[in-house]
Structure formats: structure tokens, C-alpha cells
Amino acid sequence: MTKTTQALAITPKRFEAFLTSLVNLQWEELDPVLDDRDLSRFKQKFAEEFGLYDPRFLGAFLGENATREDALNKPSPLIPTRTRFETRALRFLYLLFRAAWVEPDARTREWAWVYLRARLNRSLYSSEPLPWKWTNAGAVLSSPPAELPVERAFSYLIKHHGRTRSCPNPECPSRYFFSKRHTQRYCSESCAQNAEREIKRRWWSEHGTDWRNAQKGTQATGKTTKKRKKVN
């Protein structure tokens, strides 16, 4: 039987590692093809620690009584090369977290967090649980379940959203990152240099001929002026 995930002390560095690894998975929005090694590394590094094999998490995507073995072994009916855990649970997280990463409206990001918590508080095949329970005194609010680490990760994303960035370099293999300073635009010095070279290349391609012609005209005018001064 799978044990319920315990609340662990997760450092900001681990939260950021999980978040950037998740949103940088090479998973196309319209064609769910993901590099096997990339996905395997992600599950090995983060699935256990962030509660992705917790019964409550599995129940929300695979149904009640789903186990870790189900997550690892049951193939998806639509994509046999993937498990149901990958195509339902991980793909859901990928799409939700990446959309939140670039969402400029704080209220919309908060609503996504509420939706995530509600989704994880019910089984895939059960009705939405009521937020109250009946007692002799009438209806009283139910206590919320303990946060799973993946929920805390989304909360971390919301609190630090001012540092989320998307690297402008179109060739960057990991575009989404947390900035270290508010003016940082590129994920690394390498991407910044590559982008600068590309900007210069495009500028010369579009304006190089005009610039050279203008330079020749300036030089010719300068020579003519010097000659006239000598004659006078």
C-alpha cells in the first residue's frame, strides 16, 4: 500500500528545480511527444519528493485506489507508448504550470491554484466533495486536507512570479527560468551572446548595404571638401 506523502522541508532551490524542469519538458501542446530520457529523469528526480505518487494525487487522475504500480505500468489507451499517469497527470501539470508561468494576471493565477487544489481533493470518478459536513449542530466546514508538495510548488510559483522569465533566444533548449535580478532577460550569458550575434546578423542583412553606401558617400564628401580647401 502506498504511504501518504509526508510534509517535507523543501528548499527554495528544490522548488525552483522542480518548477523549471516541469515547464521545460519538451512536450508539444498539440502533439504529445516527449523525449523518454527527459521524462524518465523528471520522474526519477521529482515524482516521489513532490507527492506525484501520493494516493490523493493518483486518485485525482487515475481513479480511486490507484497505486504507484498503476502509475508506472498501466499504458494509456490513446498513446500506448505512454502510461496513463504520464498522459493524464504529468501532462495536466505541464500545461497548468507552464500557462501560469507566463500568465500576467495575478487573479487568474490564483484561480488556477484554487482549481488545482480542488482537483486534488476529489477522485477522478467521484462527484465533487462538499466543503462541509453534517453534525448535531448543523453544517460545519470540513478541514482542508494537508497540502501536497506539488501544491506548495504552485504556491511558490505564484509568490515568486515576478521572477519568472521566458528566454528570448529561440534556440534556447530550456527557455523558462527564474531570474536572479529584475533586469535579467536571458537565462544565461551564452544565450545573451547568441541573441546579440543574431540581432547583429539580421541588422547587417537588412541594413548593411545602405550603411556601406552611406559610409562611401561620407568618405567621398570628406575628400572633396579637403581638396577644395587646398585650392582656396
Question: 140-186, pLDDT tens digit by residue?
Answer: 888 888 899 999 999 999 999 999 999 998 889 899 999 999 899 99
Local confidence band at 4 (pLDDT 50, 70, 90 cut-offs)? very low
Q: Cα separation of 165 and 174, whole Å?
A: 11
pLDDT, average across residues 7-18: 89
Q: What is the DSSP string of 57-85?
A: HHHHHH-TT--HHHHHHPBPSS-TTSBHI
Local confidence band at 1 (pLDDT 50, 70, 90 cut-offs)? very low
Q: Cα separation of 17 and 45, whole Å?
A: 10
Does the pLDDT of residue 52 top 50, yes or no?
A: yes
Cα-based distances in Å from 212 to 23, 199, 200, 203, 215: 45, 18, 15, 13, 5
Task: Please say whether the beta carbons of 145 and 86 come within 8 A.
Answer: no
Q: Which residue matches cell numbers 540581432?
A: 199
Q: Cα separation of 164 and 199, whole Å?
A: 24
Does the pLDDT of residue 187 top 70, yes or no?
A: yes
Is pLDDT larger for residue 203 or for residue 7? 203
Does the pLDDT of residue 228 top 70, yes or no?
A: no
Q: How many CA atoms lie within 13 A of 51 on its CB side?
A: 24
What's the pTM value of the predicted model, to 2 decimals?
A: 0.77
pLDDT at 126: 66
Closest CA to 42 of 62, 18, 59: 18
pLDDT at 113: 94
